[in-house]
A = this chain, B = another copy of it.
Amino acid sequence: MKIPVVKRILSANDDIAAENHAALKAAGILTINLMASPGAGKTSTILATFDRLPEDVKPGVIEGDLASSIDAEKIAERGVPVTQINTGGGCHLDAPMVRSGLSHLPIEEINLLFIENVGNLVCTADFALGADLGVVVASVSEGHDKPYKYPGMFAKADAVLLNKMDLAEVFEFDMDYFRKGIEMLNPGVPFFPCSCKSGAGVQEWVDWLLAQR
């Protein structure tokens, strides 16, 4: 009896994700579900991306957090429309939360939407939100073994950023090992080593992102 219940819940999420996606497409919005461990640099990636957008690109953000509005405030400081979703302890965003978040955004004024998911390298990969792209932000400080330990996330990604590259030497980061892990799980996935702090490599990511419109 249990399996049908679980299927129904996931199917309900997928149905709402499909509705979100249709609404976002109808509004001409490219949507990114940004996933990462806590502190890998999701908000930093969003802010560094904003710095490099052409004028015709109008971003918006849905911020997912268990609690607080720390990241949403950083986005709002840039004058970008943002909605905070507090999951109240929940370990991932789901499609109904995003639907609710969308209802509070001026979607007619934006054409690029970042959904910053809860910091969680496991659970966030399992729930469709209605985004066009699922993007993972890894970071050098987490270590080069992450694709081997958290394969689900990397296997499903449409692109992988590797942030904090300015500290690759300090952390003795083995890039070949990291890339081999990603390629094994997700051959040919677009890969962007970068530093949101120094700005190195960020333009390559932004160029790729804009080409997905």
Could you tell me which A residues sit within 8 Å of B by CB distance? Answer: 2, 5, 37-39, 65-68, 70-71, 89-91, 118-123, 139, 141-143, 145-146, 148-152, 164, 167, 170
Question: Closest residue of chain B to A2, judged by CB?
Answer: B5
20 contacts between A and B (CB under 8 A): A37-B37, A37-B119, A38-B146, A38-B149, A39-B141, A65-B149, A66-B149, A66-B151, A66-B152, A67-B151, A70-B148, A71-B149, A89-B122, A91-B91, A118-B122, A119-B149, A120-B121, A139-B141, A141-B142, A167-B170
Question: Closest residue of chain B to A167, judged by CB?
Answer: B170
Cβ–Cβ contact B68 & A148, under 8 A: yes
Cβ–Cβ contact A121 & B38, under 8 A: yes
**A149: chain B residues within 8 A (beta carbon):** 38, 65-68, 70-71, 119
Cβ–Cβ contact A143 & B39, under 8 A: yes
Cβ–Cβ contact B121 & A141, under 8 A: no
Cβ–Cβ contact A39 & B151, under 8 A: no
**A66: chain B residues within 8 A (beta carbon):** 122, 149-152
User: Which of A70, A145, A167 is the most central at the interface, judged by chain B CB atoms within 10 Å of its CB?
Assistant: A145
User: Which of A39, A66, A67, A142 is the most central at the interface, judged by chain B CB atoms within 10 Å of its CB?
Assistant: A39
A152-B89 contact, Cβ under 8 Å, with A39-B141, A142-B38, A142-B39: yes
Question: Closest residue of chain B to A146, judged by CB?
Answer: B38
In whole Å, how far is A39's beta carbon from the nearest beta carbon of chain B? 3
Cβ–Cβ contact A39 & B146, under 8 A: yes
Question: Closest residue of chain B to A65, judged by CB?
Answer: B149
